Chain A
Amino acid sequence: MKRVSIYSWLLFILILFVWEVLAKQMSELVLPAPSVVVETLIEGLMSGYYTPHIIRTSLEIVIGLFLGSLLGMLTGILMGEVEFIRKLLFPYVIASQAVPKLALAPLFILWFGFGMTSKVVITALICFFPLMENTVTAIQYTDRQKIELFRVLGANRWQTLFKLKIPAGLPSILAGFRVAAVLAVVGAVVGEFIGGSEGLGALIIASQGMMDTPLMFSVLILVTIIGTLIYQIIYLIEQRLFRYKNGS
């Protein structure tokens, strides 16, 4: 495995090298060289130019992810547990799944303004579905024998839900959370594309207007770093929570 990781780094260096060579043949407007992008990135970070944008986008991602996931999980638990609610809401859930959520972004800007709220709502809406779907499935398909075990032990509905169904479904729920985290970045950035003067998405649009491609690339790198960081944090939480899977 160690060897694979070395190869992975070698591949990264190779890609950078090819990119650098290719970029030298082209205009900086089309493809800036990695050395130029890194220079722009460091300059922007040092001068504090990116800071308000990073904070704004990160806040939108975190708040949107939190609210969307929480609502998605709660709705999922309700739908998984209460058959009436599941049957009542299911047609609407399928219909709303078919709607491309990002296409609703202009509508949310109209409703909630150009501020942070509209971006948080878009992000939350995108995060809602993976959490809801994974939670419904996890709650609904808990091992029948384990449910029978809880019945024979005289457990009530709440105990069965909180001590069996939710902990047993947690790996699947957190898998949904991981998907939601990646989508949250897309939601926040696209929201900023459409309307906003602050945030990394707005900065990408601004760099396009200024024809500053190195700036655009450096912002893209920042977005990738934020997305990867959030993903890694969730991965670490999972590792901690599911230590029992490795038995240690």
Chain B
Amino acid sequence: MRRSQLIDGAAGTLVAVLLATIPHYAGAQQTPAQCRSQCQVDFRDCFQSPGSNYCQRQRDACLARCGTVSPPPLLYTLECAENYPSGVSDLPNSCDNTDNLDTELTGWQGWHEFAYFQECDAWPQHWMEDDRPGGGLDNMWVDNPVDLAVWSGHGTEAPSEPDGSWSMFFGCSHNGTEQATSPDEIHLGEVGTDPFGGDGRAKFVIMDASCSAVLGEIDAVWINGAGQGGIMMRAHQGLAFKDSPNDSDDRLQEFVDELREDDVSNKQAWLDKGELCVAFWCWNSPLIMSFDQTESLARDRQNFESLSRGRIGNQPPSFDGFFVWNYVDNGDC
């Protein structure tokens, strides 16, 4: 297993400050040459700090947006956990699942790994909205500058579902918590005047975890929360499960393999490969959801959009709009 990239606290703070202040991320108008020059200047100090691997990635992302690479790369962050503390069952294949996805996705259609955190390097704060009290880090890891964010690990449920809440459950506690909870803490793809700062970018989010899309609480967990949005702010698509999927080591790889080989939509590949059919009939209830301005546009996105570069549509033009989801009903959580 490869080790993930880590930055220490000091470098993280420094980078956070840089990201908040540099013109590129503030959206200033520049020529490509000015932009590239600015990227070099902005990240010069970062490289003098520990954790320069992170700086390299951030600078590359910055340069790519200036037109250094055409078209700019698509970035993804993977997080997973297999080993859980005493009292919680381990998931021995959970990181194989993301390992194999990493292998399959790297280099395909311009996708590049931005970050890959495993076990105790995966923090709940990476998924928490940076614009919330206490401060999350999603603007640095899973919602910006990445286009795709993936979690493979545990999810939670209440004694009685739906209860309007769902949490990602991490292998280690960080800063006093091992959970990131929707709708309070996870908001991806918010832009412009949307709630929570408008500094999101993520287009796709995959929650390969139990009970991540329980019917009856999709509105609360994914769409609207307490009226300010759920996991999907203006993210294009969410891929999840309405039950407990099996602890697969290759589900995500199979998903991308079908996209790559058959040039099908995310919906088709996710519903095809999300099931587990090795025990008589199929188990797992994969669910995929799309968002756009109108129901017709949301359905078009649902039917056609894919991780394949040429099939990624425009960002939904408004925060208000329609969600469409499809699932294979092999049971509930």
Are both chains from one complex? no
Which residues of A pack against B, CB within 8 Å? Answer: none
